[in-house]
């Protein structure tokens, strides 16, 4: 009797282990599905990085043009200031001096506007650089997940090959799925309630369906 009780406990333990492996496989399969979704995100991030780089290249070109214009305007302002000082020191008419002052004011205003544009471009560039860092970080995370994706895929494929069982990922609280043939084609579906069936009954049912 003692031996029969021990054997029964061992059998129950084996059945529990089988159910545990089934549930673990379901978890792996769900993770695999999520990782595949993330893999598609990698393509989106690659496209975003490409668009971002094009945008940054355009901003860099704009910055170069604006900086060149700023240098030209600074030179014009400097020359206008020198001319005004010279005319004010001489016998130039007030009307001409007034025109020189008006021109100098316009040049200074244009210079300030371009300085503001340059600051705006610099802020945009800094924001794009931060985005670039974030996208690269996400890409590195996704690359690391590729190894997990392959491992999960191999585990699921091995489980299906050995047991002929494909778990149903949309029913986390039940033991359900499909029995497949050697070519992976579904033969029949099943759904078992572990609350109403013992581990032995569940395992025996799965074994009978897959045999």
Q: Domain limits of the chain? A: 33-163
DSSP state of 144: H
- Confidence band (pLDDT; 50, 70, 90) for 9? very low
Which secondary-structure segment (H or E) carries 142?
helix 94-163
Checking if the pLDDT of 91 tops 50, the result is yes
Query: Is domain 33-163 in CATH 3.40.50.1780, yes or no?
Result: no
Mean pLDDT of the chain: 75
Does this model's pTM top 0.85? My answer is no
Cβ 34 vs Cβ 151: under 8 Å: no
* Integer Cα distance of 59 and 48 in angstroms: 16
CA angle in degrees (0–180, nearest 5) for 46-51-54: 130
68-92 residues labelled b (16+ CB within 10 A) or e (exposed): eebeebeebbeebeeebeebeeeee
Q: For residue 163, how many other CB atoms are within 10 A of its CB? A: 19
Query: What are 78's two structure tokens?
Result: 């400097």
Residue 189: the pLDDT is 78
Average the pLDDT over 164-185 and give the result. Answer: 71
* Integer Cα distance of 20 and 139 in angstroms: 34
Please give the C-alpha separations between residue 38 and each of 43, 47, 141, 167, in angstroms, as whole numbers: 9, 14, 10, 21
Residue 39: the pLDDT is 58
Question: What are 93-131's pLDDT values in tens digits?
Answer: 677 878 888 888 898 898 899 999 999 999 988 988 888
Checking if the pLDDT of 8 tops 50, the result is no
Question: What are 67-85's pLDDT values in tens digits?
Answer: 898 899 889 888 888 888 8
Residue 185: the pLDDT is 67
Specify the higher pLDDT residue, 94 or 20: 94
* Integer Cα distance of 112 and 96 in angstroms: 24
* Integer Cα distance of 87 and 97 in angstroms: 7
Specify the higher pLDDT residue, 109 or 143: 109
- Confidence band (pLDDT; 50, 70, 90) for 5? very low
Residue 20: the pLDDT is 63
């Amino acid at each position: 009797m003692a031996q029969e009780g021990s054997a029964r406990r061992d059998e129950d333990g084996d059945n529990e282990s089988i159910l545990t492996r089934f549930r673990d496989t379901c978890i792996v399969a769900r993770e695999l599905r999520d990782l595949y979704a993330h893999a598609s995100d990698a393509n989106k991030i690659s496209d975003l990085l490409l668009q971002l780089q094009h945008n940054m290249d355009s901003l860099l070109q704009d910055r170069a043009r604006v900086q060149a214009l700023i240098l030209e305007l600074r030179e014009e302002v400097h020359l206008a200031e020198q001319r005004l000082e010279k005319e004010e020191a001489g016998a130039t008419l007030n009307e001409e001096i007034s025109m020189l002052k008006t021109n100098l004011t316009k040049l200074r205003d244009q210079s300030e506007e371009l300085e503001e544009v340059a600051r705006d471009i610099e802020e945009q560039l800094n924001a794009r650089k931060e985005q670039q860092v974030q996208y690269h970080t996400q890409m590195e995370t996704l690359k690391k997940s590729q190894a997990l994706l392959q491992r999960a895929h191999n585990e699921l494929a091995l489980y299906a090959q050995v047991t002929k069982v494909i778990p149903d990922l949309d029913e986390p609280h039940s033991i359900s799925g499909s029995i497949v043939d050697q070519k992976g084609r579904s033969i029949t579906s099943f759904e078992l309630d572990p609350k109403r069936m013992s581990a032995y009954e569940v395992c025996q049912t799965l074994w009978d369906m897959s045999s």
